């Protein structure tokens, strides 16, 4: 008989946001992310926001500290693969200036 591999993802709600570790609310910009990061990413791109990091652009982003450094949070959003269709062109300057960090 044929064996079918089963993936045991209980529920999307059990997934954690790849940016901050909060509970995800659904697919946003290509990824399962939490509501907070969805809103943050959207505001950043729509308003063409520029952030600067007061540290070494290596701030730890988690649920409790995600508001501390929007620069590093946005880097992490990009790094984990969040993308807004059609904005790469419009906001190319934003992305060109982005410094990608390595997530270990």
Distances (CA, A) of 81 to 3, 15, 27, 55, 95: 33, 16, 12, 23, 13
Rank residues 25 and 87 by Cβ distance to Zn ion and give the closer one: 25
Rank residues 48 and 55 by Cβ distance to Zn ion and give the closer one: 55
Residue 17, interface with Zn ion (CB under 5 A)?
yes
Residue 34, interface with Zn ion (CB under 5 A)?
yes
Residue 16, interface with Zn ion (CB under 5 A)?
no
Measured in degrees and rounded to the nearest 5, phi and psi for residue 39 equal: -65, -40
d(CA 82, CA 9) in angstroms, rounded, equals 21
Residue 37, interface with Zn ion (CB under 5 A)?
yes
Residue 19, interface with Zn ion (CB under 5 A)?
yes
25, 38 contact by CB (below 8 A): yes
* 62-101: contacts with Zn ion (CB under 5 A): 69, 71-72
Query: Measured from the CB of residue 88, what is the shortest distance to Zn ion in angstroms?
Result: 21
């Amino acid at each position: 008989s044929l064996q079918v591999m089963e993936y045991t993802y209980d529920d999307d709600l059990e997934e954690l946001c790849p940016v901050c570790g909060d509970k995800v609310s659904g697919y946003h910009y290509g990824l399962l992310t939490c509501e907070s990061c969805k809103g943050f990413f959207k505001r950043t791109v729509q308003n063409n926001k520029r952030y600067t990091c007061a540290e070494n652009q290596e701030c730890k982003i988690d649920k409790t500290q995600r508001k501390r450094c929007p620069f590093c949070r946005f880097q992490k959003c990009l790094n984990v693969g969040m993308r807004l269709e059609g904005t790469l062109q419009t906001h190319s300057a934003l992305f060109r200036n982005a410094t990608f960090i390595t997530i270990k």
